[in-house]
Structure 1
Amino acid sequence: MTTFDDRERAFEAKFARDEDMAFRVTARRNRLLGQWAAARLNLTPEETDAYAKAVVQADFEEAGDEDVIRKLLGDLLAAGVEIDDASVRRALEEKSVEARRQLMGEA
């Protein structure tokens, strides 16, 4: 029974690590997306930091990425930046890869 218990604990620990890493990648990705959008909005460094934090917060509105995409697209279009949904989604994918690379480099 001990072997089974050890395996179960190991599986639970791996699951917890994987979930933690997924959360950290998503949060980093959203911060990078906020910085990407802030550059298109010509924000100051202080405004960029605040905006990146707002994008991270926007991800807690609902499950999935639609809340972040909606925020970015709405803010960019409201500011007169010519951009479409596909461009925002492409940036989301690119920043996801970049966030994962950054976090793997830290490990």
Structure 2
Amino acid sequence: MTTFDDRERAFEAKFARDGEMEFRISARRNRLLGQWAAGHMKLTPEETDAYAKAVVQADFEEAGDDDVIRKVLGDLTAAGVEVDEAMVREALAAQTIEARRQMMEVR
């Protein structure tokens, strides 16, 4: 029975590590998306940093990516940037790839 218990613990540990990694990737992706949007809004470096943190925080409002997309799209539109939801979703997808790449380099 010990082998079975060891395997169960190993699977549980892997599940926890994978969940933590996905959380980190999501946070990094949101930060990168915030930096992308800040570039379009022509924010200063200090404003860019604060905005990127605000985008990361926006992800805690509800499950999924809609809260982040809504925030970024609304902020870009309010700043007079010609953008639509599809462009923000494309940027989100691109930043997901970049965030995964960066996290793999850190490992």
Query: C-alpha separation between the residues in 1 aligned to 2:65 and 2:31?
Result: 13
Query: C-alpha separation between the residues in 2 aligned to 1:89 and 1:32?
Result: 13
Query: C-alpha separation between the residues in 2 aligned to 1:97 and 1:79?
Result: 27
How far 1:62 moved relative to its partner? 0.1
**Aligned positions, number:** 107
Partner of 1:90: 90
Match status 1:68 vs 2:71: no
Task: Report % sequence identity.
Answer: 77
Query: C-alpha separation between the residues in 2 aligned to 1:10 and 1:93?
Result: 31
Match status 1:4 vs 2:36: no
Query: C-alpha separation between the residues in 2 aligned to 1:47 and 1:79?
Result: 14
Q: Secondary structure at the match of 2:34?
A: helix
Q: Secondary structure at the match of 1:72?
A: helix
Query: C-alpha separation between the residues in 2 aligned to 1:79 and 1:35?
Result: 15
Query: C-alpha separation between the residues in 2 aligned to 1:104 and 1:12?
Result: 22
**C-alpha distance after superposition, 1:51-92 (max 9, x if no partner):** 000000000000000000000000000111000000000000
Match status 1:49 vs 2:49: yes
Runs of 4+ residues deviating >2 angstroms: none
Partner of 2:104: 104
Query: C-alpha separation between the residues in 1 aligned to 2:41 and 2:25?
Result: 24
Query: C-alpha separation between the residues in 1 aligned to 2:71 and 2:25?
Result: 19
Structure 2 runs not aligned, ≥5 long: none
TM-score (norm 2): 0.99
Q: Secondary structure at the match of 1:63?
A: coil
Query: C-alpha separation between the residues in 2 aligned to 1:48 and 1:95?
Result: 16
Query: C-alpha separation between the residues in 2 aligned to 1:43 and 1:52?
Result: 11
